Each structure stands twice: as structure tokens, then as C-alpha cells.
Amino acid sequence: MNVESATAQTLRVDAKVIALVGSAHFVSHFFQLALPPLFPMLKQEFGVSYAMLGAVMSVFFAFSGVCQTLAGFAVDRFSARAVLLAGMGLLAASCLIAGFAPMFWVLFPVIALAGVGNSVFHPADFSILNASVAPQRLGHAYSVHGIGGNLGWAAAPMTSFALGSLFGWRAALIIMGGMGLAAVAFLMTQRASLVCHHRKDHAVHYSFSVSQIALLLRLPVIMCFAYFCFWSMATVGVQTFSVTTLTVAYHLPLALATTALTGFLLAASAGILAGGFAATQTSRHDMVAAGGMLASAFFTIVLASAIVPSAFVVVLTTFMGFFLGMTVPSRDMLVRAAAPAGATGRVYGFVYSGVDFGASLAPLLIGWLLDRGHGAGIFIGIAGCMLLTMLTAVHIPRFARASAAA
């Protein structure tokens, strides 16, 4: 086989792995937003507050965050493929079971199990990509991975709302859960491509020793955790409650508010695609991430000020999403640079638990503000989280260099 043929074969193999992992990430993000569009139906049937509905999502992200570091250890110790497929199955099955909940409180333990299932994706996905994809294609791999997640976010509100409107919220959750289990069955037929090469000997290498925990407490890793926490609070704030905020606090028509969220999510996917090219063309991933967060914060502040006509809300949320999406591939490259060799699963699991930590806080805070009619305060808080994310991004490389020199 000549060099050109070998290169083409490697490209095909990489493309297949990237597509499969991206589709798994689609499933993860789809189920993160499968329930929120049904909140009005749940509120009417069970008579609960927005704060209680937000608490359900807080439980989901809290369990996902706590278990994500554990999932990272499981990935390093066992198999990223097995952990990924098990998590997908648990996530989809939990959604299906939630459709049979006889009382509101039953949703809490079911959603907690869904959170456990959701915890596996980042440590498993990135372990597979880093081990299987050629280094020169990692920027594009991270881009496709992020786009897959964003498309899952974009598809969930439309699918969930449409199914709920046609068949009711219970049938919607059951149907979506069945769709997720079908996706698991498909990936099982492709499991030969989902390989993460790592050593299974020396079990102590993967144990919860003091040195392994200390590795996660290095300053660059902590800064990555903080980055994801603030990033998540901003992102989840827009995704989970922007429609409700725009309709309740800003009195926008439901159709316009839903269009604004869809524009945000689709633009974020376009931003991730552009960010993938940016990540492969520069080594200053901190500047790309910081610049994108600053621009997104600017448009969020304009939205909070309500100085533009309602018709321009979609334009503002679209720009917010695009610049936020641009940061994603460079963000993942920053984490890769901060992760010591042989600890990819653990580091990705730990720092991405910051996503869930932030996501567990945001719905509670926003639900509390919504119950009190503080719409502008919500968007100001989201912009503040974006600016804090920007500050952490510019410090991650400096701390990583200092840690390497120590």
C-alpha cells in the first residue's frame, strides 16, 4: 500500500470514529433538553413552581457532575467503549421510565439515574478521539464533537415540544427514550470502531491513590474546571430558561422566543465549525476562547438592556450562539494541553464535571429569579458568567507552563 492509499485509509477511519463519537454526543445533549420544553405541561398537571421544575434539572446535572470524575477513572481503568454504551443506555432508559411517573417527586430519582448516564460522555468521547484520531485532525474532531452536541440541543426542543403537543408529555418522553435505545443498538453494531487504546495492566495506575487525586488538583486542571463551571452556567441559562424568560419577563410571543433559542443553538453549531478551523490554525487557543466569550457577553448585555426592538432579539441570540460556539474547539484543546499523559479520562471527567456543577446551580437560581419577575437580572448574570469564563481562559496556559516547569 502506497503512502497516498494509506493516508486515504487513515482519513476514512478517522472520519468514521469522529462521526460515531459525534453522534453519541448528539444523544447526550438531546436528552439534556428533552424535558425542559415539557415544563408548562408538567407545571399544569402537577401544580409545581418554576423553582421546583428547575430543581429537577439541578438533580440531573448534580448527579452527572459527581459521577463524571468517577466515569473518567472507569474509562482509564476499563473500556471507554463499554462505559459510553452503558451510559447511553441508562440515559435513554431513564427518559422512557420518566414517562410513567405517577407523581412529580418520582421524577427526581429517575432524573438522577439519567444524570449518572449522562456523566460518561465527555471522558469516554475524548478518550476515544485522542487515542484514535490523528493529531492533525483533532481540532476538526473536537469541532464535530461539539457540533453533534449542539445539534442535539437544537433538535430536542423541537422534537419534545412537537411530540408533547401531539401526544402529551408522557408519550413524548416514552417515544424519545425509545429513540435513544435505538441509537444505542446502532452504536453497538459499530463498536469495533469505538476503540480506546490504553494499558490495562498496573491497576494501581488507575486507582484512587493520593497521587492520582493530587493530579486533579493541579492549578491548570482547577482553572479548566472553573472555566467549564462558568461556561455551563451561561450556556444552560440560555438553553433551559431563555424561552420562558423572554415570554414571561419580556412579554415576547412564544413563537418568537422559541425561534430565538433555535437561532442561538444553530448559530452555536456554525460557530463550532468555524472554531474548529481556528483551533487548527493557531496555538493561541486561550485567545480564541477569550475573544469568543467577550463577544458573546457583549450581545448578551445588549439583550439584557432591552434597547432594541423585539424583532432583533433573534439577531442578538444568534450572535450570542455563534461566538459562544467558536470557543468550543479551542476550549477542548486547552484541556488536552493541561492533561498529563496517561490521565486523559480522569482529567476530562473531572474538568467536565464543572459543566454539570454549573448546570446544577443555574436552573435553581434562574427559576428563583423567574418566580420574582427578574428577567433582566437573568441575562446580566449570564453575561457575567461569560466574562468570568474569559478570565479563566487567558490564565490556563500560563498556569500550565508554570506547572510543567515546577
More confident residue, 116 or 395: 116
Of the pLDDT bands very low, low, confident and very high (cuts 50, 70, 90), residue 200 is very low
- The rounded distance, in Å, linking the Cα atoms of 28 and 30 is 6
Residues 6+ apart with CB under 8 A from 158: 262
Alpha carbon distance, N-terminus to C-terminus of the chain = 46
Q: What is the pLDDT of residue 212?
A: 60
Q: What is the pLDDT of residues 345-385, one digit of tens each?
A: 667 777 777 877 887 787 778 777 777 776 677 888 889 98
Q: Report pLDDT for 3.
A: 43
Per-residue pLDDT tens for 209-256?
A: 555 666 666 777 788 888 888 888 888 778 777 777 787 767 888 778
Which pLDDT belongs to residue 335? Answer: 73
Tell me the residue type at 389.
T
Average pLDDT score over residue span 77-101: 91
Q: Residue 107 pLDDT > 60, yes or no?
A: yes
Between 171 and 17, whose confidence is greater?
Answer: 171
In the predicted model, is pLDDT for residue 100 greater than 70?
A: yes
> How much is the pLDDT for 288?
85
- Residue 1: per-residue pLDDT: 47
Mean pLDDT in the chain? Answer: 81
With pLDDT > 70 as the criterion, what percentage of the chain qualifies? 86
pLDDT digits (tens, 9 = 90+) for 147-189: 888 788 878 888 998 898 899 999 999 999 999 999 999 999 8
Per-residue cell: 133 = 484520531
pTM greater than the 0.75 cutoff: no
The per-residue pLDDT for 240 is: 73
Residue 6's pLDDT is 47
- Residue 199, pLDDT score: 43
Position 340 confidence tier, pLDDT thresholds 50, 70, 90: low
Residue 35 has pLDDT above 70, yes or no: yes
Handedness of CA 384, 387, 392, 398 (dihedral sign): negative
Highest mean pLDDT among 5-14, 31-40, 302-311, 341-350: 31-40
Higher pLDDT, 214 or 92: 92
Task: Tell me how crowded residue 187 is: count the other CB atoms within 10 A of its CB.
Answer: 20
User: What's the sign of the alpha-carbon dihedral 384, 389, 394, 400?
Assistant: positive
Q: Is 297 helix (H, G, I), strand (E, B) or coil?
A: helix
Pair 90, 116: CB distance under 8 Å: yes
Domains and CATH numbers, the chain: 9-192+207-405 (1.20.1250.20)
Band of pLDDT at residue 10, cut at 50, 70 and 90: confident
Residue 399 has pLDDT above 70, yes or no: no
Check residue 258 and give its pLDDT. Answer: 78
pLDDT tens profile 251-295:
888 778 878 888 888 898 889 888 877 777 777 878 888 888 999
